[in-house]
Amino acid sequence: MNIDIGLEQNARKKIAHDLGIVLADTYVVYVKTQNFHWNVVDRRFYSLHLFFEKQYEELEESIDEVAERIRKLGERTPATLKQFLEMTTLKESKGDLSGDEMINQLLHDHESIIKSLRGYIEHASKLHDEGTADLLIQHLRFHEKTAWMLRSHLNGDL
């Protein structure tokens, strides 16, 4: 079926590709955050356990929004772990980590996503896809807030 939403097919494909990377990165940080929620062992267990839970629940919503945006553009959404691991710019966590090491990894990941999002917002805007740019700006604000909260847990020990 023809998609007539004011964006050329080539533009939609390019934007969907960018969104696929955003989706993969978001999924990897989601799984990592859920892993840390389950496996945190720290003197701040209870507060970190709840902190990570709130984050992965918010990330879950983000995943769905990005995936649905790709479909709205008429493209197939990457949807397997293999695809996500091939597309992501992030690394999985390894080994047993302290609470601070978990926070540092998540902080690095969110800051990495923030930097990527800035480029994807610019790309979507240049292609006149304000819907995607708006969605990505919302995600940028979420990741900036999350990075700030993670940084705050480190008491300036960066």
Residue 139 sits in a domain whose CATH number is 1.20.1260.10
Residue type, 72: K
Q: How does pLDDT run across 35-64, given as a tens digit for each residue?
A: 999 999 999 999 999 999 999 999 999 999
Domain count, the chain: 1
Rounded distance, CA 111 to CA 114, Å? 5
Rounded distance, CA 102 to CA 105, Å? 5
4 in a structural domain: no
Question: What pLDDT score was predicted for residue 95?
Answer: 84
Question: What pLDDT score was predicted for residue 76?
Answer: 96
Sequence-distant (6+) residues with CB within 8 A of 146 are: 55, 58, 106, 110
Q: Given pLDDT bands bounded at 50, 70 and 90, which one contains residue 141?
A: very high
What is the residue-wise DSSP string for 20-56?
A: HHHHHHHHHHHHHHHHHHHH--STTHHHHHHHHHHHH
The residue range of the domain holding 73 is 9-88+97-153
Q: Is the pLDDT of residue 110 over 80?
A: yes
Q: Is the pLDDT of residue 158 over 70?
A: no
Q: Is the pLDDT of residue 114 over 70?
A: yes
158 in a structural domain: no
Question: What pLDDT score was predicted for residue 156?
Answer: 61
Average pLDDT over residues 85-92: 96
Rounded distance, CA 7 to CA 3, Å? 9
Q: How does pLDDT run across 16-37, given as a tens digit for each residue?
A: 999 999 999 999 999 999 999 9
Helices (H) then strands (E): counts for the chain = 5, 0
17 in a structural domain: yes
Residue 128, phi then psi, degrees to nearest 5: 65, 35
Q: Given pLDDT bands bounded at 50, 70 and 90, which one contains residue 69?
A: very high
Q: Given pLDDT bands bounded at 50, 70 and 90, which one contains residue 105?
A: very high
- The answer to whether the beta carbons of residues 7 and 126 sit under 8 Å apart is no
111 in a structural domain: yes
Measured over the CA atoms of residue 149, residue 152, residue 157 and residue 158, the dihedral's sign is positive
Question: What pLDDT score was predicted for residue 121?
Answer: 98
Question: What pLDDT score was predicted for residue 6?
Answer: 85
Rounded distance, CA 32 to CA 90, Å? 10
21 in a structural domain: yes
